[in-house]
Amino acid sequence: MAEREFDVIIYGATGFTGRLVAEYMNNEYGSSVKWAMAGRSMDKLTSVRDEMGVSKHTALIVADSSNVSTLKDMAGRTKVVLTTVGPYQLYGTDLLSACVDAGTDYVDLSGEPAWMYDTVREFDAKAKASGARIVHSCGFDSIPFDLGVLFLQEHAKEKTGAPCPKIRGRVRKMKGTFSGGTAASFGETMKRAGREPEIIGRLKDPFSLVPDFEGPKQPSGSKPIHEDDLGSWAAPFIMASINTKNVHRSNALLGHAYGEDFTYDEMMLTGPGEQGEQMANFIASDNSMAKNPPKLGEGPSKEERETGFYDVMFVGTTKDGETLIAGVTGDKDPGYGSTSKMIAESALCLALDIDRNETPGGLYTPAPAMGMTLVLRLVEHAGLTFEMES
């Protein structure tokens, strides 16, 4: 890649999540990296920059999803475009295309498997040709899960000489809200499924992001179960439908490093006994996000973000039946506080750490694109922990 003016441009910097990303970039890195804020309105960009106390030397760039030429201009000026402007199936395709054409790396917060299915098939070969590294799902969906599986598998290979053929992702604790962007993306995906019935099949298929591969039958995770070995009931986890697809795509992009027989599912632990069972049944029947979704562009207060957290365990079963457990935690609410830090570090990891000979162009998930290098960044800067527990 020829020398670029910026390391990272934050597109959508005046939106709720984009502001958090810009605030994090300013507080954590200041002027030590070359970054800029981009959005539709110069007046709003200036206002937001001044409100947050960001240096007036921070560049502001006008770019609008309805004006493709502005997207192309932006893509040509930076090593990485970081976009928080979703739903991506409505506003993301032209920007992704501009980045592919310019050979510019790209990170987003997409939890939209139907759109990602399209981008893999339309842009993967083009990105390989141009050298653009396009990395979807660089927020709560799916970094803690995708990298948590990678972390456990690296340990399993070191300890036993082979990966675990089975891993269960289990959310032990979580405080915080899902983002309005996640809700809006879900809504748009359901609208599209109404127009295109074949979308339903792609949403149900755990391997829909892995072209030309049909893996083994996967645990459904769709109904409450009691897990005797964990001493707890488990309920369906709302993010499982996207996280599981990303984990299987990661496995494929890593040359099926977890094995072609690998099984993976995600659920939320609700505790033992009758109380745990009641909570699991309640979660399984809860459709409040569909009925009363958080609004796009709004989010929790600073106090709510600061007091939020999550704790996810990964239970691996080796070929010999041994159990290995890894834990991943985040120190802010998942949908906003932690997500804004994770996507910022993902963009910087691509811009500054990941050699193009090691990771060439293509359509990626976080684990094969950045791997343990990103894990180290997240631990050092973003308040995450990755630890083996057994």
Written as one string, the DSSP assignment of 17-60 is HHHHHHHHHHHHHTTSS-EEEEES-HHHHHHHHHHTT--TTSEE
According to DSSP, the residues that pair with 105 across neighbouring strands are: 80
Residue 187 half-sphere exposure, CB side, CA atoms within 13 Å?
18
CA distance 113 to 26: 31
Last residue of a domain, one of 316, 333, 350: 333
User: Has residue 291 been placed in a domain?
Assistant: yes
The range of the structural domain enclosing residue 25 comes to 6-140+338-383
217: exposed, middle or buried (Cβ count in 10 Å: 0-12, 13-18, 19+): exposed
User: Has residue 390 been placed in a domain?
Assistant: no
User: Has residue 241 been placed in a domain?
Assistant: yes
Shared domain for 157 and 170, answered yes or no, is yes
Shared domain for 33 and 92, answered yes or no, is yes
Here the CATH number for the domain that contains residue 98 is: 3.40.50.720
Shared domain for 157 and 280, answered yes or no, is yes
According to DSSP, the residues that pair with 386 across neighbouring strands are: 328
Shared domain for 351 and 314, answered yes or no, is no
Cβ-based neighbours of 109, under 8 Å, separated by 6 or more: 17, 83, 84, 86, 137, 138, 139, 141, 179, 181, 339, 343
In the chain, the N- to C-terminal Cα span, in Å, equals: 43
Residue 183's pLDDT is what?
Answer: 75
Residue 289's pLDDT is what?
Answer: 61
Residue 35's pLDDT is what?
Answer: 98
Shared domain for 84 and 165, answered yes or no, is no
What is the number of domains present in the chain?
2
Cβ contact 388:154 at 8 Å: no
Q: Which single residue is written with the structure tokens 């240096």?
A: 55
Q: In this structure, which amino acid lies at residue 372?
A: M
Task: Check whether the bond before 360 is cis (ω within 30° of 0).
Answer: no
Shared domain for 74 and 11, answered yes or no, is yes
3-state DSSP helix/strand/coil % of the chain, to nearest 5: 45, 20, 35
Last residue of a domain, one of 333, 358, 373: 333
Shared domain for 154 and 303, answered yes or no, is yes
Shared domain for 220 and 292, answered yes or no, is yes
Shared domain for 163 and 105, answered yes or no, is no
Residue 191's pLDDT is what?
Answer: 87
Cβ-based neighbours of 136, under 8 Å, separated by 6 or more: 108, 110, 116, 119, 246, 363, 364, 365
pTM score, two decimals? 0.96
Shared domain for 165 and 184, answered yes or no, is yes
**163 to each of 82, 191, 367, how far by Cα in Å?**
33, 39, 15
User: Has residue 389 been placed in a domain?
Assistant: no
User: Has residue 184 been placed in a domain?
Assistant: yes
Per-residue pLDDT of the chain (390 residues; tens, 9 = 90+): 678 999 999 999 999 999 999 999 999 999 999 999 999 999 999 999 999 999 999 999 999 999 999 999 999 999 999 999 999 999 999 999 999 999 999 999 999 999 999 999 999 999 999 999 999 999 999 999 999 999 999 999 999 999 999 999 999 999 987 667 777 777 888 888 889 888 888 889 999 999 999 999 999 899 999 999 999 999 999 999 999 999 999 999 999 999 999 999 999 999 999 999 999 999 999 876 656 666 766 788 889 999 999 999 999 999 999 999 999 999 999 999 999 999 999 999 999 999 999 999 999 999 999 999 999 999 999 999 999 999
Residue 178's pLDDT is what?
Answer: 65
CA neighbor of 160 nearest in space, from 375, 367, 316: 316
User: Has residue 268 been placed in a domain?
Assistant: yes
Give the CA angle between residues 25, 40, 2 to the nearest 5°.
60
CA distance 294 to 359: 36
Residue 288's pLDDT is what?
Answer: 67
User: Has residue 43 been placed in a domain?
Assistant: yes
Residue 286's pLDDT is what?
Answer: 85
- Give me the sign of the Cα torsion angle 108, 247, 180, 48: negative
Residue 287's pLDDT is what?
Answer: 76
Shared domain for 75 and 104, answered yes or no, is yes
Task: Check whether the bond before 142 is cis (ω within 30° of 0).
Answer: yes
User: Has residue 50 been placed in a domain?
Assistant: yes
Shared domain for 129 and 151, answered yes or no, is no
Residue 232's pLDDT is what?
Answer: 98
CA neighbor of 244 nearest in space, from 214, 218, 222, 270: 218
Residue 184's pLDDT is what?
Answer: 79
